[in-house]
């Protein structure tokens, strides 16, 4: 069986000095490919350098994370634009975040719209971050329906009704990670009502560690634990989850 981790920050400082070992552990666990979402100029070069060391295994993206949008966003966006000439696999992670701060909410929306247009222009998928902002983002996606967008809602936590509304705005998948393994996680009921053909596996490492490793640093090698829980909830086999979610990721990201 082979899996794809469609969202891992394996270049994060939490892995400092251990990045290559973490990649090796993931490959040994059957995670043949990993998507690296971008954050901002502070971590981008480390991400790209790691991806270059593991070409064919790590696939980098470019984008400005909403929590990195502030008064200096124009300069950050210029640096994003300067990296669009290299081979990338998605625009992301982008979106809006109303959890940490609403100070630059208007700027977050402007940056999101710019990057959605970039995704459309470059015929690339978008990786959407939507913490406490799903309704705002869906409104924007409705405005941008003419762009023919596609991508993934990272760390999806909405209802099946939210998924259906989202699906009317473009070709969207949902990213399912370690939260699925938590007791009383509402997403556990939601995934039963969403076709497996619309689901991607992700870790968001080093965050959102699945059971039985909760409390420790997350990493891509833990994907099989998320996949196992998904198989259990959907009443299917681990092999089917591996096969279908891998096909989904290959199709979306062109890998």
All structural domains of the chain, each given as residue ranges with its CATH number in brackets, are 3-253 (3.20.20.140)
Residues 241-255 as b/e (b if ≥16 CB within 10 A, e otherwise) read bbebbbebbeebbeb
pLDDT band at 6 (very low <50, low <70, confident <90, very high): very high
Q: From CA 201, how far away is CA 2, in angstroms rounded?
A: 12
Q: Which helix (H) or strand (E) holds 245?
A: helix 238-253
Quickly state the pLDDT bin for 100 (edges 50, 70, 90): confident
H or E stretch covering 176: strand 171-176
By C-alpha distance, which of 33, 100, 32 is closest to 65? 100
CB distance 91 to 78 below 8 Å: no
Q: Express each pLDDT in 108-141 by its tens digit.
A: 999 999 999 999 999 999 999 999 999 999 999 9
Q: Tell whether the model's pLDDT for residue 154 goes beyond 90.
A: yes
Instruction: Supply the mean pLDDT for the chain.
Output: 97
Task: Give the N- to C-terminal CA distance of the chain in Å, as an integer.
Answer: 17
Tokens read off for 165: 């509304």
Residues 161-186: tens digit of each pLDDT: 999 999 999 999 999 999 999 999 99
Distance CA 49, CA 60 (A): 10
Q: Are 175 and 145 in contact (CB under 8 A)?
A: no
């Amino acid at each position: 069986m082979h899996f794809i981790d469609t969202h891992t920050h394996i270049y994060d400082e939490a892995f400092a000095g251990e990045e290559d070992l973490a990649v090796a552990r993931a490959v040994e666990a059957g995670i043949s490919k990993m998507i690296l979402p971008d954050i901002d100029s502070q971590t981008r070069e480390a991400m790209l350098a790691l991806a270059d060391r593991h070409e064919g295994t790590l696939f980098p993206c470019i984008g400005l994370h909403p929590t990195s949008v502030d008064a200096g966003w124009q300069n950050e966006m210029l640096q994003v634009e300067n990296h669009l000439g290299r081979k990338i696999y998605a625009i992301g992670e982008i979106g809006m975040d109303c959890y940490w701060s609403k100070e630059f909410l208007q700027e977050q929306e402007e940056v999101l719209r710019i990057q959605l247009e970039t995704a459309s222009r470059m015929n690339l998928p978008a990786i959407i971050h939507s913490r406490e902002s799903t309704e705002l983002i869906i409104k924007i996606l409705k405005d941008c329906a003419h762009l023919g967008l596609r991508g993934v809602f990272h760390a999806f936590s909405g209802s099946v009704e939210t998924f259906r509304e989202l699906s009317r705005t473009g070709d969207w998948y949902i990213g399912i990670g370690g939260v699925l393994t938590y007791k009383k996680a509402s997403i556990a009921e939601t995934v039963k009502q969403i076709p497996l053909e619309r689901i991607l596996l992700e870790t968001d490492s080093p965050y959102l560690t699945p059971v039985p490793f909760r409390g420790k640093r997350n990493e891509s090698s833990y994907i099989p634990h998320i996949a196992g829980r998904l198989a259990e909830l959907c009443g299917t086999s681990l092999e089917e989850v591996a096969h279908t979610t891998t096909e989904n990721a290959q199709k979306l990201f062109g890998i």
